[in-house]
Structure 1
Amino acid sequence: MIEILTSHAFNTIQDLGRRGARRFGVSTSGAMDPVALEAGNALLGNDGDAASIEVQTFPFRLRFNAGISFALTGADCDARLGDRGVPPWWCMRARAGEVLTIGSPRRGARVYVTVAGGIDVPRVLGSRSTHLRAAFGGLDGRALQAGDVVPVGGQRETAGRCDFGAEPPELTITESDPSDQDRVLRVRVMRAGEHDLFSDAMRAIFWSTRWKISAQSDRGGYRLTGAKLTLAAPVEMRSHGVVAGVVQVPPSGDPIIQMSDANTAGGYPKMAAVIQADLWRLGQARPGSFIAFSEVSYQDAVAAMAPINDYIGRVRATADLYRAL
């Protein structure tokens, strides 16, 4: 068991999300940074979809009530297990009664606490992910609070060595690293269904603007500011299906990127769609940071997943090797 000692708003239990339920109007949810979640599970020998704790408000403190191995991935933060420092992207073994403290990130927005065996809350529609707006999944469908006791899957211990880590993906997935010295996150997108409804001038603004992620952003979507995108005349549209990554343009003209808790349908025009390979980067982008869009083809979008899959495979292979020592 894990006891939550300090937790502020929006820290939740997440896995890779709820698949196959969008036709019922149920959002996918799941980790905002799926690469961090999968890597943490790989370090521990868990299934890639095992549930973890997604921490996005700090400080966060928990107590391990039994000896267990855990990993920290995601944002680069100051973390300590008792009096021992815990590096980012690292796994180690906690003793019964030890307290893990996670401070505010130096870089990135979300930290993932994975444990050997995974977080063992009930599955709802095939997933343990918390959906806050619908109030189901996770722990009673809500954010974690001080005093909560979170069950762990069978208290399964990893065999062999458990004091090693992995290189962060932004250092190793070089084929898709969109970082730049101007501190703007380069996000790859494909054109979406209503792209051509916008004038040449509006399309040029979309591609050239350095967009700021506003404070009106959460797991449901990122609202962007920096320019106004408008149509020459109002367009009435039927609601259509949307998924994480779709960039919609409401009447305000401020684009919205749908994220993990996005609605399943909406009627705003779709300008573009962030490719799957870059969604994890967006998941680590903070309000107040800047992004810019660059266009890729469908073939490039599919190919961009290969370095990510290779990265997770390398982490798992390295972890298996260390545990065998």
Structure 2
Amino acid sequence: MSGRLVIARCHGALSLQDGGRRGYQRYGLSGSGAMDRLAMATANVLVGNAPDAPVLELGFGGGRFVVEAGRGWFACAGAPCTLRIDGAPLTGHRTATLAEGAELIVDPPREGAFAYLAVAGGFEAGAVLGSVSLHLRAGIGGADGRLFQAGDHLTFATAEGNTPGDRTTDAVPLDRDAPIRVMLGPQADRFPQGGIDTLLGSTFTVSHRADRMGYQLDGPAIAHGEGGYNIVSDATVMGSIQVPGNGLPIVLMADRQTTGGYPKIATVISADLRRLAQSRPGDPIRFEAVTLATAREAALRRQRDIADLPGRIRPLGGFDAERLLGANLAGHAVDALREGP
């Protein structure tokens, strides 16, 4: 039996996303998928889904949703938002049941850019090339190849047989003050040392032209080498930092083109893509070059973060003995029998 969630109001970019499409870049179609994979996984695991099950991605905005039929368990994770169920405030990173007729309001995030709404059992949608993810420029997935708008609806598995209960978890923090880690290349040799120094020694800001295809950055122009800013088009990945003719870097994201003719000075490591994705226009961005070994270690740590999510889920308001025993309850206690300070 399926439930029905109606989108009564939305602003920003509201779309259906999952783990993305794989194996189609050679045909010119990038993978798309959630911009913050860890936040998507957190929302899904809270309600008992697979980490990459379909979710609603709320980009740079919020929405008002009404359960028109059925009953389901929902969870929201990612950018911190104020949630209200029938007017009652609710914290994020926890589950909540929405009965038929219930209204859920998700306010725009207080910081960050992307929040994720998951339902136990998953949203039901037809996959295109193995994924339900909206790829807006390709016109596939999501709501018939477009963003959701008021009046659209989604079907979901009802709570019968999908009852995770009241559960919560701690958000994986974002170190917003740390630089975004990159590996130089693959065309770093097309830039003079001064251009590399500009990339690594300057503070950029996220432009208002940032979207799921790419985050354009404002700041000092990066100088090109004698070869100029045109190259024979070659492959891109999520995190490629292109430098076009104006010298202002563009970090390619989930809906990027699969090839590009601007030189790529560096590539954001996969573990830091979520920190970049959760930046909003005007936020400062700094880069730091790291080694392949550091990038690989960070990627493995991120995989462990997702694999460990089920173990970090705990009952809401319940007594978690294992968590209690692992806590430092004594803090900075000292020997009471000792004299002196």
TM-score in same-fold range (> 0.5)? yes
Is the aligned partner of 1:118 residue 2:122? yes
Other-structure match for 1:132: 136
Other-structure match for 1:163: 166
Task: Give deviations 1:153-209, integer Å, cap 9, x for gaps.
Answer: 46664335x222111111xxxxxx6432xxxx5211101111122111111111010
User: Which has the larger Rg?
Assistant: 2
* Structure 1 residue 313 displacement after superposition: 2.9
Other-structure match for 2:203: 210
5+ long unaligned stretches in structure 2:
321-341
Q: Does the CA contact (< 8 Å) of 2:70 and 2:158 recur in 1?
A: no
Task: Give deviations 1:76-126, integer Å, cap 9, x for gaps.
Answer: 111111132221212111111111101121121111111111111111011
For 1:92, the aligned partner's letter is A
For 1:169, the aligned partner's letter is V
* Structure 1 residue 308 displacement after superposition: 2.3
For 2:8, the aligned partner's letter is L
For 2:170, the aligned partner's letter is E
CA distance in 2, matches of 1:10, 1:22: 24
Other-structure match for 1:192: 185
2:149 to 145, 152, 165: 145
Q: Does the CA contact (< 8 Å) of 1:68 and 1:157 recur in 2?
A: no
SS at structure 1 position matched to 2:300: helix
Is the aligned partner of 1:69 residue 2:80? no
CA distance in 2, matches of 1:63, 1:268: 45
Task: Give deviations 1:47-100, integer Å, cap 9, x for gaps.
Answer: 111111111243401112321001000111111111322212121111111111
For 1:206, the aligned partner's letter is L
**CA 1:243–1:303 in 2, change beyond 3 Å: closer, same or farther?**
same
Other-structure match for 1:95: 99
1:25 to 14, 18, 28: 28
Q: Which moved more, 1:78-87 or 1:26-35?
A: 78-87
- The structure 1 segments of at least 4 consecutive aligned residues displaced by more than 3 Å after TM superposition are 153-157, 318-323
Give 1:223-238 correspondences, 5 Å limit. Answer: 223-233=216-226, 234=228, 236-238=230-232
For 1:41, the aligned partner's letter is N
- For normalisation by structure 1, the TM-score amounts to 0.91
CA distance in 2, matches of 1:63, 1:2: 6
Task: Give deviations 1:245-295, integer Å, cap 9, x for gaps.
Answer: 000100111000000100000010011000110111111110110110011
Is the aligned partner of 1:179 residue 2:172? no
For 1:123, the aligned partner's letter is A
* Structure 1 residue 149 displacement after superposition: 1.4
- For normalisation by structure 2, the TM-score amounts to 0.87
5+ long unaligned stretches in structure 1:
171-176
1:246 to 240, 249, 265: 240
